[in-house]
Chains A and B, each alone.
Chain A
Amino acid sequence: MSNYTINHLKELESEAIFVIREVAAQFENPVLLFSGGKDSILLTHLAKKAFYPAKIPFPLIHVDTGHNFPETIAFRDALVEKLGVKLIVGSVQETIDKGRVKEEIGADASRNALQIVSLLDTLETHKIDAAMGGARRDEEKARAKERFFSHRDEFGQWDPKNQRPELWNLFNGRKNFGEHFRVFPISNWTEMDVWEYIKLENIELPSLYFSHQRDCLVRDGVILAKSEYIKLKPGEEVINMTVRYRTCGDMPITGAVISNADDLTKIINEIKTTRTTERGGRADDKRAETAMEDRKKQGYF
């Protein structure tokens, strides 16, 4: 019987599809949080596979910070069109205009933390009871302790010390009124798994992930794209560089890497030899040793 085995990518796919189907079955109003990054693109691809030939039976939510890469927005709209799935956009600009949050000031200002309020507002407006995200446990130390089905109280907060035990593949999505769940179907994938699978399945990605020429500046060792959302500090200069992105956040905080990798095979080879984590280029994680845990407790992705 020993030839009845599947490889690790198929096993991870199978696990993720099981979780996505559980969400559709256990919740009334689930959504998929779509950031435009490769992980949420992968998640959308898995959701399509889970319900084929039917369409994805829940909408995508995108929290638009207003500082997104234009490539991300264009890609999002084309994908939604192709899949025939509903898109809900939550706007950070609107949250700021309503006076719900105050924009950070200074050269390092970022809308990263402001997204939390927009996201929670959007979930509440649409009475969402489960929001699936493409977070992975290998990304960051606080995420390593996250469950597949992660319970959030009525304030959208995560209590890491009081999580429900998660056994076998029995996922408990029961909750009281006003509470919701965050669900992470690709919890067990690593960055390498994601890239290998994208290649295996020939999944289309935004051009940002591949090597291209871009006007950049270097700040605290992080290569940032020159854009209207970022102010130059004294001594900083704009340099045209050959770069690509390993993750896809907001323009002012997502670091690029110098790279000639312009196809998936080259990217995979580059990752095999690389010596920093993909979030190593994220200025938002460098604010404090437990920056991610602090944001997650408040309701971050």
Chain B
Amino acid sequence: MEYQNMELLRFTTAGSVDDGKSTLIGRLLYDSKSIFQDQLDAIETSSKNKGFDYVDLSLLTDGLKSEREQGITIDVAYRYFATPKRKFIVADTPGHIQYTRNMVTGASTANLAIILIDARKGMLEQTQRHSFIASLLRIPHAIVCINKMDLVDYSEKVYDKIVADFKAFSSKLDITDIQFIPISALNGDNVVNKSKNMDWYKGSTMMYHLETVHISSDYNHIDCRFPIQSVIRPHTLDNQDFRGFTGRIDGGIFKPGDKVKTLPSGFVSTIKNIELNGEQITEAFAPMSITMTLEDEFDISRGDMIVRENNVPEMGQELDVLVTWMNINPLQLRTKVIVKHTTNECMAMIKSLKYKVDINTLHRIEDIDKLQMNDIGRITLRTSKPLFYDAYRRNRKTGSLIIIDEQTNETIGAGMII
């Protein structure tokens, strides 16, 4: 079965208002034949009602009433399509400054970022912000699409200038794999089909990149990290002694017979069995959900972590964190918050605010006492109990946390441990 053995690629799209994000996704869905007839009929009718000369593919992704009224994307919308090579999940995120929290949300699970630039406008503040977020959230791959090439006469000069500008900016960023592609989402140039209007471009199409970019090494398969979600005790006659630890592997490779250490207790034991639904698993690695049993019996519960004896994560109550602030109420020093990290949850206090990052210059602004919504800054968190963590650059799962308001229960910050 060919379909059953496809890889899954999650990508996010970022761009400014009107640079054609929704149209691009519509184009990918349309040209990969992922749009059904009834969906197409619906948007054809809507386009006609609005008096457009062409079918507005962006209507495929703008789902909510208020978005249709304003013709903009408000919230993260997820889209799905598959080609014979891969299955794709698209997080379509808005470009407006006030909705940056959604961009960070979409970026947090992505393998790849598509950064859109309007060929007529070149690099904008928004482009820099989005690129910086992609880099900050350590999306391993990026495709920079210079869109609306049809409106600049498919000019190579315009394209080269934007590529040069982007490279100058991105040298300060931390994205290892960047591809540049000139496209017209509206007309389909270089999206799925190679453009006949840009002979000077020798690279491949966007779809080709999406289908072939190497993603299997995006997970950390070196440092063994297994945060415990829950403990299964069936209490049935058949399984009186069964005591299984459930969770999803966040790093490394676990095998039955491996010596492991449990945190925070420090007890050492051996993996007896790894299974799911009674089926044995010989090697477990990220992002698998499993149930693990150990040879020895001791007290382990949700929030604990199983690791290798000679490769343990950082352990501590004082964490340096780069935080994206996501709430209308600013971050203030000494505030008590709730922190969620792996399967752990605890109280914490924002102990210090070291600097805020100016996302245009990437300069640090020091001597501040607040972070406003959409600001990115470096803080120190003091937690009420020790957490087991890695630097975010080493592991996106054990290096990330969210900050929750104790009063409203809202998620107010996204943190990456330094």
Given contacts A144-B77, A167-B104, contact A5 B402 (CB under 8 A): no
Q: Which residue of B lies closest to A151 (CB)?
A: B409
Write out the residue numbers on chain A whose beta carbons fall within 8 Å of the beta carbon of B61: 144
Q: Dominant SS at the B interface?
A: mixed
Query: How far apart sit A12 and B75, CA to CA, in the bound complex (Å)?
Result: 23
Write out the residue numbers on chain B whose beta carbons fall within 8 Å of the beta carbon of A277: 36, 38-39
- Other-chain contact of B64, A51, A145, A268, A274 (Cβ < 8 Å): A145
Query: How far apart sit A225 and B343, CA to CA, in the bound complex (Å)?
Result: 48
Which of B8, B76, B101, B234 has most A Cβ within 10 Å?
B8
Query: How far apart sit A192 and B229, CA to CA, in the bound complex (Å)?
Result: 29
Q: Which residue of A lies closest to B64 (CB)?
A: A160
Given contacts A190-B80, A276-B36, contact A168 B396 (CB under 8 A): yes
Judged by a CB distance under 8 angstroms, whether A231 is at the interface is no
- Other-chain contact of A138, B46, B80, B108, B288 (Cβ < 8 Å): B80
CB distance from B141 to the nearest CB of A (A): 15
Size class of the B contact interface (CB-based, 8 Å): 35 or more
Judged by a CB distance under 8 angstroms, whether B7 is at the interface is yes
Are the CB atoms of A52 and B4 closer together than 8 Å?
no
Judged by a CB distance under 8 angstroms, whether B121 is at the interface is no
Q: Which residue of A lies closest to B5 (CB)?
A: A7
Judged by a CB distance under 8 angstroms, whether A50 is at the interface is yes
Are the CB atoms of B289 and A18 closer together than 8 Å?
yes
Judged by a CB distance under 8 angstroms, whether B278 is at the interface is yes
Chain B contacts with A in 82-121, Cβ cutoff 8 A: 82, 87, 89, 101-102, 104-105, 108-109
Query: How far apart sit A236 and B95, CA to CA, in the bound complex (Å)?
Result: 50
Which segment of B11-19, B153-161, B238-246, B363-371 sits at the interface? B238-246
Given contacts A144-B79, A161-B74, A167-B108, contact A6 B64 (CB under 8 A): no
Are the CB atoms of B75 and A8 closer together than 8 Å?
no
Write out the residue numbers on chain B whose beta carbons fall within 8 Å of the beta carbon of A161: 64, 66, 74-75
CB distance from B11 to the nearest CB of A (A): 13
Which of B75, B401, B414 has most A Cβ within 10 Å?
B75
Q: How many residues of A contact B (CB 8 A)?
A: 65
Are the CB atoms of A170 and B409 closer together than 8 Å?
no
Chain A contacts with B in 1-42, Cβ cutoff 8 A: 1-15, 17-18, 21-22, 24-25
Question: C-beta contact mask, B393-404 vs A, less than 8 Å → 1, else 0?
Answer: 000110011101
Given contacts A7-B7, A21-B289, contact A53 B63 (CB under 8 A): no
CB distance from A79 to the nearest CB of B (A): 16
CB distance from A50 to the nearest CB of B (A): 7
Are the CB atoms of B65 and A293 closer together than 8 Å?
yes
Judged by a CB distance under 8 angstroms, whether B298 is at the interface is no
Chain A contacts with B in 178-197, Cβ cutoff 8 A: 187-188, 190, 192-193, 196
Chain A contacts with B in 35-64, Cβ cutoff 8 A: 48-55
Question: C-beta contact mask, B157-173 vs A, less than 8 Å → 1, else 0?
Answer: 00000000000000000
Given contacts A4-B253, A14-B287, A190-B80, contact A165 B65 (CB under 8 A): no
Chain B contacts with A in 30-83, Cβ cutoff 8 A: 36-39, 42, 46, 61-66, 68, 74-80, 82
Query: How far apart sit A160 and B65, CA to CA, in the bound complex (Å)?
Result: 10
Query: How far apart sit A166 and B75, CA to CA, in the bound complex (Å)?
Result: 12
Write out the residue numbers on chain B whose beta carbons fall within 8 Å of the beta carbon of A54: 232-236, 239
Query: How far apart sit A137 and B76, CA to CA, in the bound complex (Å)?
Result: 11
Q: Which residue of A lies closest to B327 (CB)?
A: A165
Given contacts A53-B239, A145-B77, contact A174 B409 (CB under 8 A): yes
Write out the residue numbers on chain B whose beta carbons fall within 8 Å of the beta carbon of A1: 216-217, 221
Are the CB atoms of A176 and B63 closer together than 8 Å?
no
Are the CB atoms of B79 and A53 closer together than 8 Å?
no
Are the CB atoms of B4 and A196 closer together than 8 Å?
yes
Query: How far apart sit A24 and B246, CA to CA, in the bound complex (Å)?
Result: 12
Which of A2, A51, A145, A165 has most B Cβ within 10 Å?
A165
Write out the residue numbers on chain A whose beta carbons fall within 8 Å of the beta carbon of B238: 53
Are the CB atoms of A172 and B402 closer together than 8 Å?
yes
Judged by a CB distance under 8 angstroms, whether A200 is at the interface is yes
Write out the residue numbers on chain B whose beta carbons fall within 8 Å of the beta carbon of A4: 216, 219, 221, 253, 283, 285
- Other-chain contact of A55, B78, B109, B234, B248 (Cβ < 8 Å): B234
Are the CB atoms of A167 and B400 closer together than 8 Å?
yes
Q: Which residue of B lies closest to A275 (CB)?
A: B37
Are the CB atoms of B289 and A174 closer together than 8 Å?
no
Write out the residue numbers on chain B whose beta carbons fall within 8 Å of the beta carbon of A280: 36, 38
Are the CB atoms of B278 and A53 closer together than 8 Å?
yes
Given contacts A277-B36, A293-B64, contact A6 B340 (CB under 8 A): no
Judged by a CB distance under 8 angstroms, whether A289 is at the interface is yes
Q: Which residue of B lies closest to A288 (CB)?
A: B65
Judged by a CB distance under 8 angstroms, whether B410 is at the interface is yes
Query: How far apart sit A275 and B41, CA to CA, in the bound complex (Å)?
Result: 11
CB-defined A-B contacts under 8 Å, sample of 17: A2-B217, A4-B216, A4-B285, A6-B288, A10-B288, A11-B287, A18-B289, A21-B247, A24-B230, A53-B239, A54-B239, A142-B63, A164-B411, A188-B89, A280-B38, A289-B42, A293-B65
12 more A-B contacts (CB under 8 A) besides A21-B229, A52-B277, A176-B409? A4-B285, A11-B287, A53-B232, A55-B234, A161-B66, A165-B102, A167-B104, A167-B109, A274-B36, A275-B37, A280-B38, A289-B68
Listed in ascending order, the chain B residues whose CB lies under 8 Å from chain A are 1, 3-8, 36-39, 42, 46, 61-66, 68, 74-80, 82, 87, 89, 101-102, 104-105, 108-109, 214, 216-217, 219, 221, 229-230, 232-236, 238-239, 242, 244, 246-248, 253, 276-278, 283, 285, 287-289, 291, 302, 326, 338, 340-341, 343, 396-397, 400-402, 404, 409-411, 414
Ranked nearest first, the 4 interchain pairs of A and B with the lowest CB-CB distance are A141-B63, A8-B8, A54-B234, A174-B409
Listed in ascending order, the chain A residues whose CB lies under 8 Å from chain B are 1-15, 17-18, 21-22, 24-25, 48-55, 137-138, 141-142, 144-145, 160-161, 163-170, 172, 174-176, 187-188, 190, 192-193, 196, 200, 268, 274-277, 280, 289-290, 293
